[in-house]
Structure 1
């Protein structure tokens, strides 16, 4: 059974040139390898975002919903950011 599928894709000229340049310089052996590597990077980014949402954003939201007194006002956030910015100078 075949584990690959042939597709025909259309890319904007600048992207197509970039793919071809990656092959021409020898960085990749084929245009398909360039596309596969780009898709792997996209999959990794999507996983990282999903893990961040599930591991940090969701629990922070749940904690805030359970105890709304933990919330900061916009003025408090601005003051904290200004203080952090001042420390960085």
Structure 2
């Protein structure tokens, strides 16, 4: 489902949006705006995850063996 949002922009800002949309290969200015909003959503999710991680308690020490184990799991997951 798609909804419509109408916004008013000053001419200079609209020109910038149009230029960026063309420069980055978007078919319309609306697609460019949607991508900006998606990027902002991603930023908010990442920020929240980082803050959650920073607020969580440490469960184990991190040393060379931890990273060796992590590398091994990544190699085997491929």
* TM-score (ref. length: structure 1): 0.54
Check 1:16–1:55 CA distance in 2 against 1; reply closer, same or farther (3 A cut).
same
For the pair shown, the structure with the greater C-alpha radius of gyration is 1
Deviation at 1:20, TM superposition (A): 0.7
Worse overlay, 13-22 or 28-37 = 13-22
Corresponding residue for residue 79 of structure 1? none
Deviation at 1:59, TM superposition (A): 2.2
Unaligned runs of 5+ in 2: 59-78
Match of 1:9 among 7, 25, 31: 7
Root-mean-square deviation over aligned CA pairs: 2.2
Deviations 1:14-47 (A, max 9, x none): 4322211123446210011001100010001000
Unaligned runs of 5+ in 1: 64-89
* Higher RCO by CA contacts (8 Å cutoff, separation 6 or greater): 2
Check 1:13–1:52 CA distance in 2 against 1; reply closer, same or farther (3 A cut).
farther
